[in-house]
Amino acid sequence: MKTIAKTSFAVAALVAGTIGTAEARDQLRIVGSSTVFPFASYVAEELGATTKWPTPVIESTGSGGGMKLFCAGNGLDTPDITNASRQMKVSEFERCQENGVTDITQAVIGYDGIAFAQSKDNDPINLTREQITLAVAKEVPQGGKLVPNPYKNWSEIDSSLPDREIIIYGPPTTSGTRDAFEELVMEAASEEIDGYGGEYTKIRQDGVYVPSGENDNLIVQKLEQNTDAFGIFGYSFLEENEDKLQGAKIDGVAPEADAISSGEYPVSRSLFFYIKNSHADDVPAMSDYVELFMSEKMIGEIGYLKGIGLIPLPKDVREDMRERVAEREQLELSDLK
Amino acid sequence: MSQSLDDISRQLKARHRKSRRLHWMSMTALLLAGAFLLAFLADMIGKGYPAFVQAEIQAEIHYSEMAKDIPLAAVDEDMRELVSRGFLRLIPNEMEANPELLGTTRMRWVVADDQVDQYLKGHYHQLDDEQVAIVDRLVEEGRADLRFNTYFFTNGDSKLPEIAGIQAAVVGSILTLFVTLAFAFPVGVMTAIYLEEFAPDNKFTQAIEININNLAAVPSILFGLLGLAIFINFFGVPRSSALVGGLTLGLMTLPIIIISSRAALRSVPDSIRQAAFGVGATRWQVVRDHVLPLSLPGILTGSIIGLAQAMGETAPLIIIGMIAFIPDAPNSITQAATVMPAQIFTWAGMPERAYIERTAAGILVLLSVLITLNASAVYLRKKFERRW
Amino acid sequence: MTQLMQTDQILMAFFGGLLPLGALAFFLGRSKAVRVREEGVHMHSQPDQYAWFAVFSTALPAVVLGLLASLAFLVIGQMLPAPMVLTIALAVGAGGMWWGLNAIRPEFRARDFNEASVRWALLLASLVSIITTFGILLSIVFEAVRFFQMESFWYFITGTEWSPGAAFLEGAGRAAEDASDARFGAVPLFVGTFMITAIAMLVAVPIGLLAAIYMSEYAPEKVRTLAKPVLEVLAGIPTVVYGFFAAITVAPMIVTAAESIGLEASFNNALASGVVMGIMIIPFISSLSDDVISSVPSAMRQGSLALGTTRAETIRFVVVPAALPGIISATLLGVSRALGETMIVVMAAGLRPNLSWNPLEDMTTVTVRIVDALTGDQAFESAETLSAFALGLVLFAVTLSLNFVSVIMIKRFREKYRSSNL
């Protein structure tokens, strides 16, 4: 019994000693898109290594999951920043407003091109968005009505294309990359093709289009192994594997940093993060993080993030954005499309 | 129908042949399972051991005024791409801490870029011919070498593979398991004691028993959903913290601890209980002073095995936010933390190839801890095993 | 200051105050009892029992009050001023101590009181597991119901097309007119899960069972004591490690092998995940079967051998049939393990809902969909995210029923052979 009593005293002393070690929140909490995740982690690590702040915690929850957490309220247990590979939706904005998260600043950090890539063993190829749409659509217009997609071979779509089996590894339905692909390729092309009646974004499910994880090393192996195949993924992944893969030209433009930055390459999207300004005072690391992220050293023409695949904004847009973020311009409903 | 003795002896031969066949087949099965284990371990060691060495190069570091603002300027131009950014970016901090460095130049062994590392290990690399020539020259001069990789054990996660390590994940694992144990061990043992020593044999007790067996079979990912809904959303435990991870894993480990503790309690013969009751002890005194001490080795063994399982679990942690970029080791259970299997999962998905060997190396570290835990459980079982 | 830090501090302060108070109660109670005893008065209980009673009477009211306060916080969402609650709780604790110390009298039955308290505490602990089950159900059911309000339950169970594409658009706030096109027929997911589970069991059951037979019937004692823990290492390897192994080593091997015999295999083929999962499950089957086979009464073996059967015949016609319920229940446990396994398939299996019986094709499973939906980019209220909970519910129901079958099997075995080793 004596030992028990002794231990309980020791434990009590220990517990009493730890009271007061709790501190104000220095650590930034960031959630959101898996596409922005590598860039944000890079900045976070830099912040942790070179300043007095602890490294921010970054969770890859997907854009939607991030918005849900971000908009849950103003409490300090909610994230300070959410990354997104698409703009905030109106419904998400309204949700934020309902929960009192009204002072939000939107930052655009750059572009992510969506590449249509194949193995290096192939000849370079030039595809149009219409051709790609016809290859991946669930149905194609024939004789005035939609029939299940019969194409198994690229040359069936257009005789100028090689005699090559159509097989495409692309993002799954849960991915923002797929959303962007549908919008930028299929929706745009289906407006040009008679018979789709405007917006058509259904993707075939007969095994020609194979949903795959987007940041998956396996997709490279697959493309190497099956030289007929194409893969759809973010430009950064293409760049990382340039020894094995090449990007197809789309509408005559190759997926290269300059073309994406200038908007010439048709399939690219902006990457965002959103700042919860109500946390600015309680989480002092936030302004340093934002400043570092928006700095030329990170998102500039020769910034570090370019080295890992971020396409910088054009110079004037970038400077304008930096200024607007520095002023913490408040996001309005009218800013969202 | 009668059979001749010849027939019978022929038959007998066939029957014995069959019998031997089963013997061989069953032995092969066991060997096959052992072979799987060996093949697996060999594969992991083969993939993982290169990560325990890391390329370092000797470079001149110029602590100039310029290096304060542009750390890249601290090394000669031809070396800029070869030295790790993880080292360079710390130069301004270093100069601030030691002002006397300003204006000096020092030869130092510094960690090299992951591409140099991969080149020296003979893997695929992205260095151009010129850089390869420089590295080759450095090697000849003895200024570039593969050395023991201390960063792997002293650093947390990083976007730069050459300085990525598992230290933060190890600390996170320890904190998480501490919470798991602090929660699951007392509750598990108490439940086992109740069911074995106190509970009346009625429908309610049976319901608890069946329920515990069920819990042991529930897919671990559902525990993640539970952790999200109950601990994070209802009780407001901070996301990604060792506390929520430990509690979730604790609930998952609970049935394992209960089942093994019950087996240990049951193996204590009734004569001991009867003797204690006979001298007037109460039920709780019997349990506390006689049954529990005798069954403790068994209970500990089961708990260690449960703990080992919790340590390797990943799926529920995805749901409660522990699979994240968390390079700093947590220093309290409410801070964001990651654990070893989560770190392995993150690395496995990285595009840079230097991470593959780090993944395998992380696996080796995790496995050696797990095997140590399991081995100590077996040892405990053997050492304290008692036949009544 | 965050709310969480406060919780942290409150808890620390609470226990920091309570522990010394409890210790004080222990010593005061004990010394009082000892004093009374030394006066030569006969006491009902031992001094330590009085001491513990004093501790209980101190801690219980304080803890109950603390719990009530936090419950009030959770229910009304309003934080009562923490220092006030703390002071009151500690004061109540002190009051409890005073009362407890006063109650220590020779005729007071502290032992009975302690006995009852211990019993209640143990009962409370054993309720945790029941609460956990309800917690799991509660955390899935609400979202699952919301999903079934959006999508038909019948089609979910029987439909063969899983294409949440349009649901994604809806979730993303674009093109709502397409919403009716979302298809949540989960049969392809069930088939993928079933396929991978079947492959796993094809690997695990023969190897596991034969290994168990060898260990319990043939192997010398030394081999057995060595082999069992070594095999259990296979079960102890984290699943994320198996996933890495399946994706990086086994899958490419299978692709190369399939190509060499002229077959086309996907890099996410179901075979790789299945085989690796099978390896993982071997020890579950072998260990449990080994226990069951060893507990078949040896009188049965002796009887059989005495009739002149060979060893193999005894095993095949006597031992294994006798142990069959146990073996089946071990297998069912393995099946529920395989159904719910997540990391191996997340890392190595595909994402394509594929209704096919070819194990070389890529397939997806229920658990992969759950992880994918919960970590994806779409809005949380979208049908696709909610489908994760519906799938979780199905998984829960299936493992539950498998387990009931296995409990019944074990019970039957126990009754048949009156073996208590299970």
Q: Quick check: is B38 in a domain? A: no
Residues of chain C in contact with residue A333, where contact means CB-CB under 8 angstroms, are none
Average pLDDT of span C141-156 = 87
- Return the minimum-mean-pLDDT range out of A80-84, C156-160, C282-286: C156-160
Helix-, strand-, coil-residue percentages of chain A, each rounded to 5:
40, 20, 40
Q: Check residue C41 and give its pLDDT.
A: 81
Interface subset of C 170-199, CB within 8 angstroms of A: 171-175, 178, 181
Both C303 and C396 in one domain: the answer is yes
Q: Amino acid identity of C337?
A: R
Domain residues for the domain of B94 are: 50-149
Q: Is the pLDDT of residue A7 over 60?
A: no
Read off the amino acid at residue A15. V
Interchain contact A58–B (C-beta under 8 A): yes
Query: Hey, are the CB atoms on C380 and A5 less than 8 Å from each other?
Result: no
What are the beta bridge partners of residue A140? Answer: A147
Co-location of B137 and B224 in the same domain: no
| C-beta of residue B311 within 8 angstroms of C-beta of residue B173 | yes
Among the partner residues C129, C209, C342, nearest to B215 by beta-carbon distance: C129
Query: Mean pLDDT, to the nearest integer, of B118-133?
Result: 86
Give A281's contacts in chain C (Cβ within 8 Å): none
Amino acid identity at A43: V
**C354 and C406 housed in the same domain:** yes
Kindly state whether A73 is in contact with chain B, defined as any CB-CB distance less than 8 angstroms: no
* pLDDT tops 90 at residue C198: yes
Query: For testing the chain C interface, which of A3, A174, A191, A208 should be mutated: the one with the most C CBs within 10 Å?
Result: A174
Same domain membership, residue C99 and residue C197: no
CB pairs under 8 A between A and C: 154
Written as six digits, the tokens of A279 are 């946390």
Q: Is B177 found in the same domain as B132?
A: no
- Of B149, B175, B194, the residue at which a domain comes to its end is B149
The minimum CA-CA distance between B156 and chain C, rounded to whole Å, is 19
Q: What is the pLDDT of residue A9?
A: 41
**What is the token pair recorded at A286?**
């936030």
Choose among A22, A176, A213: nearest Cβ to C5. A22
Q: Cβ of C267 under 8 Å from any chain A Cβ?
A: yes
Please indicate, yes or no, whether residues C250 and C359 belong to a single structural domain of this protein. yes
**CATH code of residue B367:** 1.10.3720.10
ipTM of the predicted structure? 0.83
Q: Is residue C36 part of a domain?
A: yes
Q: Give the H or E element holding residue C167.
A: helix C165-171
Nearest CB to A64; choose among C16, C51, C377: C377
Q: Rounded mean pLDDT of B208-225?
A: 87
Q: Are C2 and A25 in contact, with CB atoms under 8 Å apart?
A: yes
Same domain, C187 and C47: no
Is A172 in contact with C378 (Cβ distance < 8 A)?
Answer: no
Q: Which residue has the tokens 């020894």?
A: A243
Contact residues, chain C, for B255 at CB < 8 Å: 129
Chain C residues with CB under 8 Å of B298 CB are none
Position A289 pLDDT exceeds 90: yes
The answer to whether C27 faces chain A, any CB pair under 8 Å, is yes
pLDDT digits (tens, 9 = 90+) for C84-97: 778 888 888 888 88
Please tell me which chains touch A, using 3 or more CB pairs under 8 Å as the contact test.
B, C
- What is the band of B179 on the pLDDT scale with cuts at 50, 70, 90? very high
CB contact (8 A) between residue B336 and residue A77:
no
pLDDT in tens, B43-67: 889 888 888 888 999 888 888 888 8
Domain termination residue (choose one: B149, B176, B191): B149
Mean per-residue pLDDT over chain C, rounded: 82
Contacts of A16 in chain C (CB under 8 A): 12, 16
CB contact under 8 A, B349 and A45: no
B26-49 b/e (C-beta count within 10 Å ≥ 16 → b): bbebbebbbebbeebeebbeebbe
Does the pLDDT of residue B181 top 90, yes or no? yes
Chain B residues close to C402, C-beta within 8 Å: 217
Residue C194 has pLDDT above 60, yes or no: yes
Same domain, C110 and C199: no
pLDDT score of C20: 87
Q: Is residue B102 part of a domain?
A: yes
Q: State yes or no: pLDDT of C418 exceeds 60.
A: no
CA–CA dist A196, A202 (Å, integer): 11
Residue-number span of the structural domain to which C59 is assigned = 3-142
CA distances for B62 relative to B66, B76, B139, B270, C137, angstroms: 9, 8, 22, 78, 63
- Are B118 and B220 members of one domain? no
| Residue where a domain stops, chosen among C93, C119, C142 | C142
Nearest residue in chain B measured CA to CA from A33? B324
- Residues of chain A in contact with residue B349, where contact means CB-CB under 8 angstroms, are 213, 215-217
Residues C122 and C235 in one domain: no
**Distance (Å) from the C-alpha of residue B243 to the closest C-alpha of chain C?**
11
Does the distance separating the beta carbons of A55 and B349 come in below 8 Å? no
B228 interfacial to chain C (CB closer than 8 Å): yes
**Model pLDDT, residue C2:** 40
Smallest Cβ–Cβ distance between C2 and the set A76, A182, A222 belongs to: A76
Q: Which of C109, C142, C175 is the last residue of a domain?
A: C142
> Residue B348 — pLDDT band, cuts 50, 70, 90?
confident
pLDDT in tens, A73-97: 888 888 999 999 888 888 889 889 9
pLDDT in tens, C205-217: 999 999 999 998 8
**B318 part of a folded domain:** yes
Closest residue in chain B to residue C8, using alpha carbons only = B334
| Both tokens assigned to A230 | 């194409």
Contacts of B93 in chain A (CB under 8 A): 50
Once rounded to an integer, what is the mean pLDDT over residues C13-27?
85
Domain termination residue (choose one: C126, C142, C158): C142
Window 317-376 of B: residues touching C by CB (8 A cutoff) are 318-319, 332, 334, 341-342, 344-345, 348, 356, 359-360, 363, 366-367, 370-371, 374-375
Of residues A205 and B274, more confidence is placed in: B274
Contacts of A207 in chain C (CB under 8 A): 352, 354, 361
B308:C236 CB<8 A:
yes
**E-only strand ranges, chain A:** 29-32, 57-59, 81-84, 104-119, 126-127, 139-142, 145-148, 168-170, 209-211, 230-234, 245-247, 249-250, 268-276
Q: Please tell me whether residues C9 and C115 are part of one structural domain.
A: yes
Question: What radius of gyration do chain A's Cα atoms show?
Answer: 24
Q: Which of A208-212, A243-247, A306-310, C301-305 has the highest mean pLDDT?
A: C301-305
Pair (C244, C337) in one structural domain = yes
Domains by residue range for chain A, with CATH: 25-112+269-335 (3.40.190.10), 113-268 (3.40.190.10)
CA distance linking residue B218 with residue A291, whole number of Å: 47
Torsion angle of alpha carbons C284, C287, C289, C294, nearest 10°?
A: -170
Instruction: Compare all CA atoms of chain A with the CA of C248 and give the residue at the minimum distance.
Output: A218
Nearest Cα residue in chain A from B236: A77
The pLDDT of C256-262, averaged and rounded, is 87
- For residue C208, the chain B residues in CB contact (below 8 A) are 29, 33
Structure-token match 């409660």, residue found: B320
Q: Chain C within 8 Å of B206 (Cβ-Cβ)?
A: no
pLDDT at C377: 64
Looking at the fold, whether B83 and B214 belong to one and the same domain comes out as no
Q: What is the per-residue pLDDT for C262?
A: 82
* CB crowding B181-216: b at 16 or more within 10 Å, else e: bebbbebbbbbbbbbbbbbeeeeeeeebbebbbbbb
Local confidence band at C46 (pLDDT 50, 70, 90 cut-offs) = confident
Cα nearest neighbour of C314 on chain B = B19
Please count the residue pairs, one from chain B and one from chain C, whose beta carbons lie less than 8 angstroms apart.
264
- Tokens 């998984």: give the residue: C395
C76 is a domain residue: yes
d(CA B119, CA B136): 10
E-assigned strand segments in A167-236:
168-170, 209-211, 230-234
- Note whether B313 and B267 are within 8 A (CB): no
Q: Is residue C18 part of a domain?
A: yes
Number of structural domains (chain B) is 2
Q: Which of B41, B86, B39, B47 is nearest to B356 (CA)?
A: B47
**pLDDT above 50 for A118:** yes
- Residue C154 belongs to a domain: no
Q: pLDDT at position A18, please? A: 37
**Maximal C-alpha separation, chain C:** 96
> Of B116, B149, B182, which one is at a domain's C-terminal end?
B149
Residues C108 and C193 reside in one and the same domain: no
From B321's Cα to the closest Cα of chain A, the distance in A is 7
Q: Let me know if residue C176 belongs to a domain.
A: no
What's the token pair of residue C121? 């505490």
- The arithmetic mean of pLDDT across residues A280-303, rounded, is 90
Q: Which one-letter DSSP state was computed for residue A248?
A: P
CB contact under 8 A, C5 and A61: no
Same structural domain for residues B210 and B120? no
Map residue A137 onto helix, strand or coil: strand
pLDDT in tens, A245-274: 899 999 889 888 888 888 889 888 889 999
Please report all neighbours of B, defined by 3+ CB atom pairs within 8 A. A, C
Residue B8 lies in a domain: no
Residue pointed to by tokens 């193999």: C312
A295 and chain B in contact, CB less than 8 A? no
Q: C333, C321, C326: which is closest to C422 by C-alpha?
A: C326
Is the pLDDT at A17 greater than 80? The verdict is no
**Is residue C55 in a domain?**
yes
pLDDT in tens, A127-139: 998 899 889 888 8
- A175 interface with B at CB cutoff 8 Å: no
List subunits contacting chain C, requiring 3 or more Cβ pairs under 8 Å. A, B
- For residue B186, what is the nearest residue in chain C, using CA coordinates? C125
Chain-chain contact of C129 with B37 (C-beta, under 8 angstroms): no
C303 in the same domain as C208: yes
State mean pLDDT over B229-237: 82
Beta A29-32 vs A81-84: how paired, if at all?
A: parallel
Closest CA to A56 of A90, A79, A85: A79
In a domain, B23, yes or no: no
Report the number of distinct structural domains present in chain C: 2
Could you tell me if C189 and C319 lie in one domain?
yes
C230 class by beta-carbon count within 10 Å (0-12 exposed, 13-18 middle, 19+ buried): middle
Q: How many residues does chain C have?
A: 422
What's the mean pLDDT when you consider all of chain B?
88
Contact B312 C129 (CB under 8 A): no
Q: Residues A162-193: pLDDT tens digits?
A: 888 898 888 877 777 887 888 888 888 888 88
Helix (H) or strand (E) holding B106: strand B105-111
Report which of B43, B38, B36 is spatially closest to residue B360, judged by C-alpha positions. Answer: B43
Residue A208 CA to residue A150 CA, distance in Å, equals 11
